[in-house]
Amino acid sequence: MAAVGDTIKQVKGIDVDQYKYGFVTDIESDKAPKGLSEETVRFISARKNEPQWMLEWRLDAYRRWLDMKAPTWARVDYPEIDFQELYFFAAPKGLEEGPASLDEVDPELLRTYEKLGIPLKEQEILAGVRRQGEPSKLDDAGLRDSGAGRVAVDAVFDSVSVITTFKEELAKSGVIFCPISEAVQHHPDLVKAYMGSVVPVADNYYAALNSAVFSDGSFVYIPKGVRCPMELSTYFRINEQNTGQFERTLIIAEEGSYVSYLEGCTAPQRDENQLHAAVVELIAGDDAEIKYSTVQNWYPGDAEGRGGIYNFVTKRGDCRGRNSKISWTQVETGSAITWKYPSCILRGDGSRGEFYSIAISNGRQQVDSGTKMIHLGRNTASRIISKGISAGRSSNAYRGLVRANPSAHGARNFTQCDSLLIGDKCSAHTVPYIESKNPSAVFEHEATTSKISDDQMFYCRQRGIGEEEAVALIVNGFCRDVLQQLPMEFAVEAQKLVAISLEGSVG
Amino acid sequence: MTMLEINNLHAGVDGKEILKGIELSVPAGEVHAIMGPNGSGKSTLSYVLAGRDGYEVSEGSVSYNGADLLALSPEQRSAAGLFLAFQYPIEVPGVATMTFLKTALNAQRKGRGEDELTTPAFMKLVREKARSLKFPDDMLRRSINVGFSGGEKKRAEVLQMAVFEPALCILDETDSGLDIDALRVVADGVNALREPARAMVVITHYQRLLDYIVPDRVHVLSHGRIVRSGGKELALELEKSGYAAYAA
Ligand SMILES: Nc1ncnc2c1ncn2[C@@H]1O[C@H](COP(=O)(O)OP(=O)(O)OP(=O)(O)O)[C@@H](O)[C@H]1O
Ligand SMILES: [Mg+2]
């Protein structure tokens, strides 16, 4: 009891202001006029030099959005967002035209990425940009085995993608990895065919908003039979004040292909709330596999709940092909409010969906996250492992839906939801919905709620481990099943992030 | 010099006084056994020495190498060389024994202002100690104490002690739950740690352990007080006559 009492004391003294990534980059930026109107949509489209069809698509989304209402069913609480007070587009000056070579990139911006700790051999990756004209030299640039351990990075700053590394080398194997704005220009047929095919324009309020004003994000296309030779990764950062970021990502894995993609997010410390409304669509063909990992560390707001990112995200994967597989792995530690349900539509017979999640809330953070597994095909399987950790005065809800349609003969699901509470001012909720319309479906659900015990704290401390480190160790242990799902390169980063996000929850 | 000096120690938990004036001094290089009936306060004494939250000291003092032990946090005591082998070792799910050992050893080293051990140096150290204690490699990969049998847990405690090389070892019933062979291995492990700079306090109910770990002094703890002290022959006497003579 006493140790828990102590923990509570320490959680009270929480200082989320220690947010490690809360610096502001001093870069001149070029913004759209404040507020949202058809004009704003036209401005963004024009700025990106978009073809007419793209503009029409956006305007259609905008008009539908006007008739929609913000969802109220989630366990989150925030004042109504005044969209007329927001900026919907901001580009670092000089980059409006899209990606540039490293020499042309503002050094301040590069320092930003350095500060962000873009993981693993960052220097090499950035050097990759410099050597883009001579890809053959990349292999002896200190990167021993080609492929393994290398990461291609797309970096999105406010509304514009600034660097994409290894693009040419990827192109050799037929992989397209570029900013979505570039895909609209160079691969319009693919974009037209797939964008909005998983998350329809008017799927929900924030998806419609995103469809109207989406700024940038990644486009990935893996051709038939290709195993993507390296991890693909995108870093998102919101820098500008009062600016929304509307990420749009589209990943297409053709028959028999494989890709592993990771996104990381940070934002500076601001008193105002910033909006991030993303749409991510994944499409997996026959026998294709997409592994999508997220390390989300947006600014969570301060101890009183001032500022922080509103993270309203629609992520959905379509297992369109036979025996296709999509797995979502997420480590969610940031944002003032998270509203996010990466889902899988298991359409192809024998397809498989997975959702592995660690959601940590501290201070006044509110998390409402989970997944939907929609079984349509025969013999489809899904697996959900969710680890929620709440500290401080935060609220952390798992909301999940597992559904078998009448056609889903032999559907199987296993769900495990574990919650860990630190202190007694926080809360955890588990809201599982299960709908089975096929009698042969087998759904299993397990849930636990636990606390870090006094015994565990004393045991660690007796062994010399200070309170804060002990909490991090125990929480990392609690999350181990999920951490193991992350690509190796990022697992260590994620463990550190777990420790950082709980900093100040003790001590 | 006396390593551990306990004077008139009164302590309790949840408002209940359990230790009622402990006097004990343990010089470096010696092994002291503490015996006594169930509920007499042996584990409580070990918790108070290790600094467990909620165990309040109302009177008395404890000095460790001349410094005020009670002024230190549990992790500071650990860094200063105090180790407690738990009567009931605690499970930490998902934390591999190897990871736990490494985190702990490096935390202790940091607490002493020493550098962290490199991973290879650490692995070598642990492998060596594990081998000498017949601690299987696969258990190093398993979550600490999770699903370990009673005897395996005790062995894991001794492994930690061997890796940390503490100056003051308190073993709370480390012999309970061990089969004869394991008892031998554990006792050998403990004996291997005996040296002039190290002191040990061994809490046990059984004279049998003291055949292997021969103590310099034996103390009887009853109702929160040391009621009798003697040489190793005292343990034999207790084995015959029990604690009836010390009932309050
Ligand atoms: N939280 C508590 N509240 C009240 N009494 C307690 C509490 N914790 C321990 N006690 C009591 O303190 C006494 C001493 O317990 P302790 O565990 O120190 O005994 P012990 O000598 O180690 O016994 P054993 O030989 O069975 O291990 C016991 O009577 C026990 O019930
Ligand atoms: Mg005891």
Residue-wise pLDDT tens digits, A136-166: 222 333 333 333 345 666 666 665 665 566 7
User: What distance in angstroms lies between residue B52's CA and the mean position of ligand 1's atoms?
Assistant: 14
Distance between CA A418 and CA A501 in Å, rounded?
19
B40, B46, B87: residue to mutate for ligand 1 pocket, most atoms within 8 A of CB: B40
Asked if residue B46 has pLDDT above 90, the reply is yes
Residue B52 sits at the chain A interface (C-beta within 8 Å): yes
Distance between CA A479 and CA A385 in Å, rounded?
10
Residue type, A454: D
Query: Among residues of chain B, what percentage have pLDDT more than 90?
Result: 77
Say if residues A236 and A96 touch (Cβ distance below 8 Å): no
pLDDT for A149:
46
Q: Name the percent of chain A in helix, strand, coil, to the closest 5.
A: 25, 35, 40
Q: List pLDDT tens digits, range B128-148.
A: 999 988 889 899 999 999 999
Asked if residue A411 has pLDDT above 90, the reply is yes
Q: Using the beta-carbon criterion (under 8 Å), do A3 and B75 form an inter-chain contact?
A: no
pLDDT for B179:
86
Q: Using the beta-carbon criterion (under 8 Å), do B93 and A478 form an inter-chain contact?
A: yes
Say if residues A372 and A357 touch (Cβ distance below 8 Å): no
Q: Cα dist. A139→A132, A166, A229, B118 in Å?
A: 12, 12, 13, 29
pLDDT for A336:
78
Average pLDDT (A249-268) is 86
pLDDT for B167:
95
Distance between CA B170 and CA B151 in Å, rounded?
18
Both structure tokens of A198? 């998983």
- Whose C-alpha lies nearest to ligand 1, atom 27? B38
Q: Which residues line ligand 1 (CB under 6 A)?
A: B 13-14, 16, 18, 36, 38-44, 87
Average pLDDT (A363-379) is 91
Residue pairs spanning A and B at CB distance below 8 A: 88
* Mean predicted lDDT score pLDDT of chain A: 78
Residue A460 sits at the chain B interface (C-beta within 8 Å): yes
pLDDT for A178:
87
Q: Which of A292, A354, A344, A356 is nearest to A319 (CA)?
A: A344
Q: Using the beta-carbon criterion (under 8 Å), do A463 and B164 form an inter-chain contact?
A: yes
Asked if residue B150 has pLDDT above 60, the reply is yes
Residue B103 sits at the chain A interface (C-beta within 8 Å): yes
Q: Residue B197 contacts by C-beta under 8 Å, 6 or more apart in sequence?
A: B28, B29, B167
Q: Using the beta-carbon criterion (under 8 Å), do B105 and A464 form an inter-chain contact?
A: yes
More confident residue, B228 or A14: B228
Both structure tokens of A22? 């809360």
Average pLDDT (B157-163) is 95
Report which DSSP code applies to A389: E
Q: Which of A195, A300, A203 is nearest to A249 (CA)?
A: A195
Q: List pLDDT tens digits, range B56-73.
A: 999 999 999 999 999 999
Both structure tokens of A325? 């597989």
User: Would residue A250 be called left, alpha or beta, if left means φ above 0 and alpha means ψ between -120 and 50 degrees?
Assistant: beta
DSSP states along A154-223: EEEETTEEEEE-SHHHHHHTT-EEEEHHHHHHH-HHHHHHHTTSSS-TTSSHHHHHHHHH----EEEEE-
Residue A173 sits at the chain B interface (C-beta within 8 Å): no
More confident residue, B226 or B176: B226
Distance between CA A241 and CA B168 in Å, rounded?
57
Least confident of A159-163, A192-196, A325-329, B163-167: A159-163
In chain A the first and final C-alpha atoms are separated, in Å, by 17
Asked if residue A455 has pLDDT above 60, the reply is yes
Q: Using the beta-carbon criterion (under 8 Å), do B94 and A464 form an inter-chain contact?
A: no
Q: Using the beta-carbon criterion (under 8 Å), do A469 and B52 form an inter-chain contact?
A: no
Which of B54, B74, B108 shows the shortest C-beta gap to A1? B54
More confident residue, A172 or A297: A172
More confident residue, A316 or A427: A316
pLDDT for A506:
60
Average pLDDT (B164-191) is 89
Average pLDDT (B202-227) is 92
Distance between CA B59 and CA A235 in Å, rounded?
59
- Work out the angle between the directed axes of helices B42-50 and A454-462 (0-180°, nearest 10): 60
pLDDT for A55:
95
Chain B interface disruption, residue of A8, A385, A452, A465, most B CBs within 10 A:
A465
Both structure tokens of A434? 């299960």
- Whose C-alpha lies nearest to ligand 1, atom 30? B39
Q: Residue B233 contacts by C-beta under 8 Å, 6 or more apart in sequence?
A: none
Give the pLDDT band (50/70/90) at residue B110.
very high
pTM of the entire predicted model: 0.80
Asked if residue A341 has pLDDT above 50, the reply is yes
Query: Among residues of chain A, what percentage have pLDDT more than 70?
Result: 74
Asked if residue A23 has pLDDT above 70, the reply is no
Q: Residue A467 contacts by C-beta under 8 Å, 6 or more apart in sequence?
A: A6, A7, A10, A457, A461, A506, A507, B75
Query: Among residues of chain A, what percentage have pLDDT more than 90?
Result: 39
pLDDT for A263:
83
Q: Cα dist. B112→A13, B28, B76, B105 in Å?
A: 27, 20, 9, 11
Asked if residue A58 has pLDDT above 90, the reply is yes
Place of tokens 């201070």: A363
User: What distance in angstroms lies between residue B170's CA and the mean position of ligand 1's atoms?
Assistant: 17
pLDDT for A307:
75
pLDDT for A22:
52
pLDDT for B66:
92
Q: Using the beta-carbon criterion (under 8 Å), do A6 and B53 form an inter-chain contact?
A: yes
pLDDT for A77:
77
- Whose C-alpha lies nearest to ligand 1, atom 24? B38
Give the pLDDT band (50/70/90) at residue A233.
confident
Which of A463, A477, A479 shows the shortest C-beta gap to B160? A463
Chain A residues within 8 A of B90 when measuring between CB atoms: 453, 455-456, 458-459
pLDDT for A295:
82
